[in-house]
Amino acid sequence: MVTTPIQPSQHPLAEYIYRLEQGQALLKDTPDNLIEVVGILKSYGVVLDAYSNNLNYIGKYQFLVLFPFFKYFNGDVSFSKLLKHWWHDRINYEYAEYCMRGMLWHGGGKLDEYVDSKEFRVNCDRAIKAKLKSNPFILGLNKIFPNFLLEQAKMSAYYAALGQFWRVMSDMFLSLSDRYDAGEINSIPDVVQHILDGLVANASRPITFEVDIKGETYTIIPEEAGLTFLMETAVPYVEAVFFRGFPFLGTVSYNAQANQVPNGQECFTYGALYADPLPVGSAGIPPTLLMQDMRHYIPDYLHKFYQNSLRQEDDLLVKICISFQKSMYCVTTAALRGLAPHSLDTKDEQEIMANRKFLEGWMNRFLTSRMVDVNQDVLKI
């Protein structure tokens, strides 16, 4: 065990605390892990580009379209695309919506507060009247149920917010791949530093939302609202998608008497950091959609890496899921380093203790996660 200048942590996952204090990541720094993480983030970056473009399109151009049959077409509807859509020869945008609904449901941050504010309601009312002024039936329905269209507008706001968040993350992951190809990324800590630098550089990037209605632009979330990339999208996203998530339909019972779903949202552990990769590939499991999308874009060197494993590519989706989890622990490391009360390499004892308290709180959440599993070279088993 690594010695420290102060009393050792008694936490069961103290090894990972010491690892972070030494500038390492939650994921072990090995050549194989580097190949997996950079390769899968290259693929993920391509997929996120498509997800981001579609979410931004839906938010801006499908605002209050109650039956958006062509929302996945990004405004380009053709018979050939329709056939591909029915044949599922396309990006699975449903996974992006799954993440969006997770963020909307779990909430958190100023975005969650803003969509419940009076200012948001006023902005939405103006857009609702412009959008539906020739539809007395829906306007009448809205008077009977005054929150009906407002809730639809809130969902559109989350479409746009997640789309803007993923725009940044896609560019970040693709530039990571470019730097790896150029020989600039040589270790897992290099990966973490690249992600941390990207998060810091975009931390104050404003999150806004405008919609086009009959040639006019209506502002729903103005820049003056003060919503920013890091605290209003990145942190709630990590909470909702990495940690909490929600149980997949068909895997557990939502019947309250069955007691298979926790009573409190804060107890949910269905996020990406906890998910067992074995069910990946099963019908109705949302991560399957993401893994299916990423399998089309993994680079050649990662394909070769998978082919050298025991089952080669027979369990490709499972392998992609494991690699993806490894990469998300790198992203989580970057987030922890950015959110820690003090620099994790501090030598000041009081600052070290403050960091320890912060990290031990997070380690409590990792106790039932797959953090230990992904550090055991599972692809070689």
Q: Within a domain: residue 22?
A: yes
Looking at the structure of the chain, the number of domains it has is 1
CA torsion sign for 220, 290, 370, 269 is positive
Model confidence pLDDT, tens digit, residues 5-35: 577 888 889 999 999 999 999 999 999 999 9
Residue type, 338: G
Higher pLDDT, 315 or 326: 326
pLDDT tens profile 188-240: 999 999 999 999 999 999 999 999 898 889 999 999 999 999 999 999 999 99
pLDDT reported for residue 4: 46
Tell me: the pLDDT tens digits for 266-286?
888 888 888 877 766 676 677
In the predicted structure, residue 187 carries a pLDDT above the cut 60: yes
What pLDDT band is residue 66 in, cutting at 50, 70 and 90? confident
Give phi and psi for 99, each to the nearest 5.
-65, -40
- The rounded mean pLDDT for the chain is 90
pLDDT at 256 over 90: no
Give the per-residue pLDDT at 379: 55
What pLDDT is stored for residue 191 in this prediction? 97
252 pLDDT more than 90:
no
| pLDDT at site 54 | 96
Report the C-alpha gap between 381 and 127 in whole angstroms: 56
Residue 141 pLDDT exceeds 90:
no
d(C-alpha 297, C-alpha 40), whole Å: 9
Looking at the domain assignment, is residue 30 inside a domain? Answer: yes
Q: What is the mean pLDDT of residues 338-362?
A: 92
3-state secondary structure 213-263: ECCEEEEEECHHHCCEHHHHHHHHHHHHHHHHCCCCECCECCCHHHCCCCC
Whether 260 contacts 252, CB under 8 Å:
yes
Q: Domain of 50?
A: 14-64+162-205+231-380
What is the spatial distance between Cα 281 and Cα 275, in angstroms, rounded to a whole number? 13
* Domain assignment present for 270: yes
pLDDT digits (tens, 9 = 90+) for 86-127: 888 889 999 999 999 999 999 888 999 999 999 999 999 999
Q: What is the average pLDDT across 162-172?
A: 97
| Domain membership flag for residue 178 | yes
β-partners of residue 211 are 218
Instruction: Give the C-alpha separation, 152 to 159, whole Å.
Output: 11
Please report, in angstroms and rounded to a whole number, the separation of the first and last CA atoms in the chain.
26
Residue type, 153: A
Report how far residue 281's alpha carbon sits from residue 191's, in angstroms, rounded to the nearest whole number: 28
Q: Is residue 241 part of a domain?
A: yes
**Could you give the CA distance from residue 339 to residue 86 in angstroms, rounded to a whole number?**
44
121, part of any domain: no
Asked whether residue 18 is assigned to any structural domain, the reply reads yes
Record the tokens describing residue 314, joined without a space: 């027979």
Task: Kindly state whether residue 1 falls inside one of the protein's structural domains.
Answer: no
In DSSP notation, 286-315 reads HHHHHHHHHTTT--HHHHHHHHTSTTTTTT
